[in-house]
């Protein structure tokens, strides 16, 4: 402050004291940086589905109460009629973009996360094996460390990652030890091992992935590749995978998830009893109504809802996380249930129990959703439509307590109430979209 540095003498000292007092005093009055007022909170971990106020301070959830005094907050946002959920956790995406490699998920098939996540209420994603131990550092440096989205990763058991069939079918590049070592070097960031797209009849990719997962004490996610009678799905889920390992693409129908009579493969129910996890992984090729609708009717629900976001799915049947969640609403799941399977369940699956909930002290990753009623349609990967009467859209997203997306500018003042020469309207304590520039010293 220039007053403190530039003014000498008794008078200046008094002024400085007064300014310091004033700043401290005002800040002390605002006990919270942000108050989300009157929304319907859905928090599966804390078993809340009710109207609640949510207060945030220093990037963390500070209080969740029936009523919190708005005078205690620097910024108050009225959310009546909207749903307030933990930031959505999407554990199957491909975001290793920017390497310039064509036809590769460690390249052009991936998307940068921030353009797809916050606008769909997603605050955490897990990249599903786009990189392996040979290129993880590059992925981290160029995408993970530069994204506003919280990006975690399943490390591909293939050292070169998901660079196409030439790499992904090379059994000699699926070493458990270097994969586990890389995972241990980045504990909490590498949250699992992925095996995917394998075309051969061997069990090697699965076995080595499980070996790496065991060494690093993290789960394995399996995209079971080409269907082979030598390695049937039933054996994978009832024998090869460990409790806590994740079978993704559960409604693809490509690997006998549905038996010939049109019922869910009984091995999947047996595996679920053992603790094997089942994940949606919609993608561009892994979600068919003819598989999903009868499976849901039989009670085979997803443990976690995820997108498998990439360039081949982003504009087709998938679109985004909220579109997939809406599909499950339309198939008859309750909103609370759909939210639990998109927040608290996936957070636990990847061993990040600080996420996916709104407990006091948790990172304030929050999504504010609107449940629209009307006439809607939802396509599967084959372009078949299911009609529905509801759709979720995202109004507001917070990452670490700061607004990162605000569809209808509900956190903003009307322009004609501002001074003629107004500039930035936010405050760095709650705004990460366009906070005022840092003050010059």
State the nearest-atom distance from the C-beta of 110 to Zn ion, in Å. 10
Residue 231's H or E segment, with its range, is none
In the complex with Zn ion, which residue's Cβ is closer, 128 or 305? 128
State the nearest-atom distance from the C-beta of 94 to Zn ion, in Å. 6
In the complex with Zn ion, which residue's Cβ is closer, 57 or 282? 282
State the nearest-atom distance from the C-beta of 221 to Zn ion, in Å. 9
Cα separation values, 168 from 159, 165, 249, 286, 418, Å: 9, 5, 18, 19, 57
State the nearest-atom distance from the C-beta of 231 to Zn ion, in Å. 19
State the nearest-atom distance from the C-beta of 31 to Zn ion, in Å. 44
In the complex with Zn ion, which residue's Cβ is closer, 39 or 161? 161
Whose CA is closest to 376, among 365, 392, 390? 390
Phi then psi for residue 328, to 5 deg, are -75, -30
Q: Report the residue number whose CB is nearest to Zn ion.
A: 308
In the complex with Zn ion, which residue's Cβ is closer, 196 or 233? 196
State the nearest-atom distance from the C-beta of 105 to Zn ion, in Å. 7
State the nearest-atom distance from the C-beta of 210 to Zn ion, in Å. 19
First to last CA, the chain: 7
The angle, 0 to 180 degrees and rounded to 10, between the axes of the packed helices 176-185 and 204-216 is 30
Coil, helix or strand at residue 183: helix
State the nearest-atom distance from the C-beta of 247 to Zn ion, in Å. 13
- C-alpha–C-alpha distance, residues 310 and 95, integer Å: 7
Q: Going along 10-68, which residue ranges are E strands?
A: 32-43, 48-57, 60-65
> CB atoms < 10 A from the CB of 3, how many?
13
Residue burial 62-75, b: 16+ Cβ < 10 Å; e: rest: bbbeeebeeebbbb
Q: Is the dihedral of CA 291, 292, 296, 302 positive or negative?
A: positive
In the complex with Zn ion, which residue's Cβ is closer, 180 or 280? 280
- C-alpha–C-alpha distance, residues 110 and 117, integer Å: 13
Cα separation values, 219 from 245, 275, 362, Å: 5, 12, 23
Which residues contact Zn ion by CB under 5 A? 128, 308
State the nearest-atom distance from the C-beta of 106 to Zn ion, in Å. 12
In the complex with Zn ion, which residue's Cβ is closer, 93 or 176? 93
- C-alpha–C-alpha distance, residues 115 and 92, integer Å: 16
């Amino acid at each position: 402050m220039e007053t403190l540095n530039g003014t000498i003498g008794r008078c200046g000292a008094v002024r400085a004291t007064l300014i310091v007092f004033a700043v401290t005093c005002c800040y002390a009055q605002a006990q919270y940086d942000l108050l989300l007022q009157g929304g319907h909170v859905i928090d599966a971990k804390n078993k809340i589905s009710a109207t609640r106020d949510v207060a945030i301070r220093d990037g963390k959830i500070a209080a969740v109460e029936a009523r919190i005094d708005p005078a205690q907050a620097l910024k108050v946002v009225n959310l009546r009629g909207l749903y307030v959920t933990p930031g959505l956790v999407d554990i199957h995406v491909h975001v290793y973009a920017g390497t310039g490699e064509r036809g590769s998920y460690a390249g052009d098939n991936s998307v940068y996360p921030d353009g797809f996540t916050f606008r769909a209420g997603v605050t955490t994603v897990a990249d599903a094996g786009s990189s392996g131990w040979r290129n993880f550092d590059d992925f981290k440096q160029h995408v993970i460390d530069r994204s506003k989205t919280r990006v975690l990763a399943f490390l591909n058991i293939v050292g070169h990652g998901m660079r196409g069939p030439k790499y992904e079918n090379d059994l000699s590049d699926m070493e458990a030890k270097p994969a586990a070592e890389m995972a241990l070097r980045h504990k909490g960031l590498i949250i699992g091992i992925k095996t995917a797209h394998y075309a051969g009849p061997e069990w090697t990719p699965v076995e080595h992935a499980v070996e790496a997962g065991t060494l690093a004490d993290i789960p394995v996610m399996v995209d079971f590749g080409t269907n082979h009678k030598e390695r049937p799905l039933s054996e994978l889920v009832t024998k090869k995978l460990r409790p806590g390992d994740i079978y993704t693409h559960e409604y693809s129908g490509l690997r006998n998830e549905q038996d010939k009579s049109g019922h869910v493969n009984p091995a999947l129910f047996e595996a679920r009893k053992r603790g094997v996890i089942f994940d949606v992984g919609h993608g561009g090729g892994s979600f068919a109504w003819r598989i999903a609708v009868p499976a849901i009717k039989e009670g085979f629900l997803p443990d976690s809802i995820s997108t498998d976001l990439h360039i081949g799915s982003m504009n087709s049947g998938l679109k985004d996380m909220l579109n997939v969640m809406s599909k499950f609403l339309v198939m008859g799941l309750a909103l609370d249930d759909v939210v639990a399977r998109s927040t608290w369940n996936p957070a636990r699956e990847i061993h990040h129990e600080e996420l996916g909930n709104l407990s006091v002290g948790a990172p304030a990753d929050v999504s504010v959703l609107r449940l629209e009623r009307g006439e809607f349609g939802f396509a599967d990967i084959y372009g078949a439509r299911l009609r529905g009467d509801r759709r979720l859209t995202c109004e507001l997203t917070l990452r670490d307590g700061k607004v990162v997306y605000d569809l209808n500018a509900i956190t903003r003042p009307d322009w004609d109430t501002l001074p003629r020469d107004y500039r930035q309207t936010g405050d760095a304590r709650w705004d990460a979209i366009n906070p005022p520039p840092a003050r010059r010293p």
